[in-house]
């Protein structure tokens, strides 16, 4: 191809590259905003089945949304008010026990004897001196990391408030937003597009509600059982069980492992308590996998285990814990398109 005006061509190419860099930079700068918006949309789709249920009970849309939001906030506030005093009390006890453990005059000698028993040829004195020197040399970095962590917590609370406001708005305006998106499809294919979109949004909503239900069941049963076996800090461990149950596929296993290991800490738990907790969680995971989860997730799109693992790993790498949570319904949506659009089209060729 012959270039008649090299200067103009180079100028257009430079402007195109600059525009691309500007767009990429803008997306990166707005990544937090997109994250908040995506989280709010994810939560609003999760609340939509509840709102739809209330609408079927002859409630107007605005009242159904108001009742749903107020109920969710009331449940969350009730859980916080019920669990927070126990968590604060038990964390205080944990800190006191750790303080007593650290303040023991024979702590260093006990650690030295323990390490020497495991590694008899190791120069323990040198290791302790090097560790002390490292701590002294990195006090500034450790302090900065603590400050950054505090700032991150404050930013997270502010982000949670923004997500709450966006969730309320998106939940209230879901029908109008759907109608606006549906208008983008050609009229000849709009009915099919609407059907697929409704299946995808329903699948996401049922998935969110189902995952929350699994978390609540695991948390409540963990609190009861751990209290019965007198595990250390059962309220804290129940909260751990709840939040890890929100992570698909590996969350319950990971949370159960952490709880069992905490029950093994000397001075807090005992081997008998840890064994009882391990047996309980082994039984619970089987019941959850074969009884509870299929019943709760029956209305959501089933996703093969291999796809769940790959989707969770990819989502976690991109967006952390939130990405791992969103990845499964996204994979389910892709499967719906694959099964109902791509496969029939390929069969027609």
pLDDT confidence band for 17 (50 / 70 / 90): confident
- CA distances 230 to 59, 82, 253, Å, are 46, 19, 21
d(CA 252, CA 221): 13
Over residues 321-341, the mean pLDDT reads 74
CB burial string 34-63: b at 16+ within 10 A, e below? ebbebbbbbbbbbbbbbbeebeeeebebee
More confident residue, 332 or 301: 332
Residue 308 pLDDT more than 70? no
The whole model's pTM is what?
Answer: 0.63
* Domain residue extents for the chain: 30-184
- Per the CB < 8 A criterion, the answer to whether 235 and 92 are in contact is no
Q: Identify the burial level of 238 via C-beta atoms within 10 angstroms of its C-beta, where 0-12 means exposed, 13-18 middle and 19 or more buried.
A: buried
- Both tokens of 166, joined, read 């966006």
In angstroms and rounded to an integer, the radius of gyration of the C-alpha atoms of the chain is: 27
Q: Is the confidence at residue 262, as pLDDT, over 80? A: yes
> What backbone torsions phi and psi does residue 161 show, to the nearest 5 degrees?
-65, -40
Check residue 3 and give its pLDDT.
Answer: 55
Predicted pLDDT of residue 346: 78
More confident residue, 8 or 73: 73
Length of the chain: 349
CA distances from 142 to 138, 139, 146 (A): 6, 5, 6
Q: Which residues contact 284 (CB under 8 A, 6 or more apart)?
A: 218, 221, 252, 256
Query: Tens digits of per-residue pLDDT, 51-81?
Result: 888 888 888 877 888 888 888 788 777 767 7
pLDDT at 231 over 80: yes
41 Cβ contact list (under 8 Å, min separation 6) = 166, 170
pLDDT tens digit sequence for 180-220 = 878 878 888 888 888 888 877 777 777 777 888 888 888 88
Q: Which long-range contacts (CB under 8 A, 24 or more apart) does 170-177 make?
A: 170/40, 170/41, 170/44, 171/43, 171/44, 171/47, 171/48, 171/51, 171/65, 171/68, 171/69, 172/61, 172/62, 172/65, 174/44, 174/45, 174/48, 174/51, 175/61
Using one digit for the tens of pLDDT, what is the confidence trace for 116-173? 666 666 666 676 667 667 667 666 676 777 677 677 777 777 777 888 888 888 888 8
* pLDDT above 80: residue 280: yes
Give the mean model confidence (pLDDT) for residues 82-90: 69
Average pLDDT across the chain, whole number = 76
Integer CA distances (angstroms), 252 to 132, 218, 249, 288, in order: 38, 8, 7, 9
Q: What percentage of the chain reaches a pLDDT higher than 90?
A: 1
């Amino acid at each position: 191809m012959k270039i008649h005006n090299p200067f103009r061509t180079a100028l257009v190419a430079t402007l195109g590259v600059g525009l691309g860099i500007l767009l990429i930079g803008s997306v990166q700068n707005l990544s937090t905003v997109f994250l908040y918006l995506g989280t709010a949309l994810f939560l609003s789709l999760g609340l939509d089945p509840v709102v739809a249920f209330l609408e079927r009970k002859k409630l107007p849309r605005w009242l159904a949304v108001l009742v749903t939001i107020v109920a969710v906030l009331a449940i969350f506030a009730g859980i916080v008010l019920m669990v927070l005093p126990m968590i604060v009390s038990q964390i205080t006890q944990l800190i006191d026990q750790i303080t007593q453990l650290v303040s023991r005059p024979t702590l260093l000698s006990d650690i030295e004897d323990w390490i020497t028993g495991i590694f008899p040829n190791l120069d323990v004195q040198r290791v302790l001196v090097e560790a002390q020197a490292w701590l002294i040399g990195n006090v500034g970095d450790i302090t900065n990391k603590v400050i950054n962590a505090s700032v991150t917590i404050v930013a997270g609370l502010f982000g949670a408030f923004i997500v709450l406001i966006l969730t309320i708005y998106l939940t209230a305006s879901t029908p109008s937003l759907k109608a606006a998106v549906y208008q983008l499809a050609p009229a000849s294919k709009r009915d099919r597009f609407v059907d697929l979109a409704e299946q995808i949004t329903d699948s996401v909503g049922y998935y969110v509600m189902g995952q929350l239900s699994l978390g609540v069941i695991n948390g409540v049963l963990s609190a009861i059982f751990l209290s019965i076996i007198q595990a250390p800090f059962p309220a804290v461990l129940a909260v751990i069980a709840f939040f890890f149950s929100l992570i698909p596929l590996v969350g319950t296993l990971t949370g159960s492992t952490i709880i069992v290991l905490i029950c093994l800490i000397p001075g807090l738990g005992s081997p008998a308590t840890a064994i009882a907790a391990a047996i309980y969680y082994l039984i619970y995971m089987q019941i959850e996998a074969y009884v509870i989860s299929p019943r709760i997730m029956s209305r959501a799109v089933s996703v093969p285990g291999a796809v769940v693992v790959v989707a969770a790993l990819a989502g976690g790498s991109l967006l952390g814990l939130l990405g791992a949570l969103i990845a499964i319904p996204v994979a389910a949506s892709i499967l719906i398109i694959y099964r109902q659009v791509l496969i029939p089209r390929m069969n027609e060729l």
